[in-house]
């Protein structure tokens, strides 16, 4: 898989540079406003490079017969649709309701083609949730897709998260004897994200845009479901791998909904955004998330594989701990509280 990773990393690095030049030529810049976390106009839409590398790699592996057509079609058609709606939103405006319906349709179709939600490990056995499981999986994946978009609010954080989750999943699937095709796909997603990260590291020279964040959320969600059905990486391990992002986004959403705010509108109230303003640094926050992932999340994910009987409780404990940490860091706290200037 080393050659696959090197190829994906190199292609994403080169393509991101090409996209940046084209975007600058057309003047498609993200101009800062009162809801922005950056201070200078920056090119956007660089996630197109990640989309091209991942979908190109999936198509190539399918043509060579090394990737199941069902999973390949789910990635190509569903991922392509999510990337397209993100591209249109980056270059214009697509209503939130339309985006969400497209996301649900793309995920529902991809999950159906890929075989739906596999049985969930519980105790000494597995629980087959049937249609209920498929519906819950579709809604959960749609939420993850959107939360990944919400969490792409400071330089480097979304690309670094995508690289970690993907490469950690590749290693865990390989370690548990999972299919080589899944290891390859995870490797491509992870190394393509690293290639883009070189351009997106603070201070970012280009932003991912909705085309990239939505696509990565879709692909990671779909591959986590696929991996939980054919390797030792269960749904509980998947929840642990995405716990820091999921906790921050979910706590923020719940607090905004409780205040009856438009939860889908732009804001700067995620925990990572509060930290970036408090510290005056995007890099420090991105590095903090990277350290948490490597030192806490990865060992917990590995433990959930070794002790499958404890995995549900471990996943709940990890998610709960990160939710408390996110709340303490300010997730969802209003930017201007009553009585404060």
* Rounded-to-integer distance, Cα 42 and Cα 246, Å: 27
For the chain, give every domain's residue range: 2-233
* Rounded-to-integer distance, Cα 5 and Cα 191, Å: 6
B/e letters for 208-245, b = 16+ CB within 10 Å, e = fewer, are bbbbbbbbbbbbbbbbbbbbbbbbbbbbbbbbbbbbbb
Rounded to the nearest 10°, the torsion over CA 330, 332, 335, 338 is -100
Q: Quick one: pLDDT band at residue 325, thresholds 50, 70, 90? A: very high
For 200, phi then psi, to 5°, come to: -100, -5
Q: What pLDDT is attached to residue 70?
A: 86
Q: Is-contact 11 195, C-beta < 8 A?
A: yes
Give the pLDDT confidence of 233-288 residue by residue, as tens digits: 889 999 999 999 999 999 999 999 998 887 777 788 999 999 999 999 999 999 99
Q: What pLDDT is attached to residue 136?
A: 87
Q: Quick one: pLDDT band at residue 32, thresholds 50, 70, 90? A: low
- DSSP secondary structure code for residue 265 in this structure: S
Its pTM stands at: 0.92
Q: Is-contact 340 211, C-beta < 8 A?
A: no
Q: Is-contact 200 50, C-beta < 8 A?
A: no
* Rounded-to-integer distance, Cα 14 and Cα 154, Å: 22
Residue 316 has pLDDT above 70, yes or no: yes
Which tokens hold the place of 135? 């519906």
- DSSP secondary structure code for residue 68 in this structure: -
* Rounded-to-integer distance, Cα 242 and Cα 261, Å: 26
Residue 49 vs residues 64, 145, 200: alpha-carbon distances, Å:
22, 18, 12
Give the pLDDT confidence of 145-172 residue by residue, as tens digits: 999 998 998 999 999 999 999 999 999 9
Which tokens hold the place of 329? 């860091």
Q: Is-contact 4 37, C-beta < 8 A?
A: no
Residue 127 has pLDDT above 80, yes or no: no
Which tokens hold the place of 37? 């976390």
* Rounded-to-integer distance, Cα 135 and Cα 204, Å: 38
Instruction: List the single range of 23-37, 150-164, 191-205, 211-225 with lowest mean pLDDT.
Output: 23-37
* Rounded-to-integer distance, Cα 57 and Cα 54, Å: 5
* Rounded-to-integer distance, Cα 106 and Cα 91, Å: 21
The percent of residues in the chain predicted with pLDDT above 70, rounded, is 93
Q: Is-contact 59 73, C-beta < 8 A?
A: no
Rounded to the nearest 10°, the torsion over CA 84, 86, 90, 94 is 100
* Rounded-to-integer distance, Cα 27 and Cα 25, Å: 6
Which tokens hold the place of 249? 């986004």
* Rounded-to-integer distance, Cα 167 and Cα 120, Å: 23
For 199, phi then psi, to 5°, come to: -90, -20
Going 199 to 203 to 30 to 84, the CA torsion angle's sign is: positive
């Amino acid at each position: 898989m080393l050659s696959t990773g090197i190829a994906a990393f190199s292609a994403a690095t080169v393509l991101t540079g090409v996209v940046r030049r084209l975007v600058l030529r057309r003047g498609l810049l993200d101009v800062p406003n009162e809801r922005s976390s950056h201070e200078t106009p920056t090119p956007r839409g660089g996630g197109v490079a990640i989309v091209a590398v991942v979908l190109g790699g999936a198509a190539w592996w399918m043509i060579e017969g090394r990737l199941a057509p069902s999973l390949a079609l789910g990635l190509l058609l569903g991922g392509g649709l999510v990337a397209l709606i993100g591209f249109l939103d980056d270059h214009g405006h697509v209503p939130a309701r339309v985006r969400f319906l497209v996301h649900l349709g793309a995920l529902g179709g991809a999950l159906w083609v890929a075989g739906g939600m596999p049985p969930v490990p519980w105790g000494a056995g597995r629980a087959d949730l049937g249609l209920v499981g498929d519906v819950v999986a579709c809604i959960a994946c749609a939420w993850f897709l959107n939360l990944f978009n919400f969490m792409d609010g400071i330089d480097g954080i979304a690309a670094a998260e995508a690289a970690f989750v993907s490469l950690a999943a590749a290693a865990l699937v390989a370690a548990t004897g999972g299919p080589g095709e899944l290891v390859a796909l995870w490797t491509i997603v992870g190394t393509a994200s690293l290639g883009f990260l070189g351009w997106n590291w603070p201070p970012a020279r280009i932003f991912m845009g909705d085309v990239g964040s939505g696509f990565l959320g879709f692909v990671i969600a779909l591959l986590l479901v696929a991996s939980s059905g054919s390797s030792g990486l269960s749904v509980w391990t998947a929840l642990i791998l995405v716990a820091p992002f999921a906790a921050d986004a979910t706590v923020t959403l719940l607090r905004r909904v409780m205040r009856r705010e438009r939860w889908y509108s732009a804001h700067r109230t995620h925990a990572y955004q509060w930290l970036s303003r408090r510290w005056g640094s995007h890099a420090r926050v991105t590095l903090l998330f990277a350290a948490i992932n490597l030192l806490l999340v990865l060992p917990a994910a590995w433990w959930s594989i070794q002790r499958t009987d404890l995995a549900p409780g471990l996943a709940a404990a990890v998610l709960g701990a990160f939710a408390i940490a996110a709340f303490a860091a300010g997730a969802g706290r209003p930017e201007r509280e009553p009585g404060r200037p």
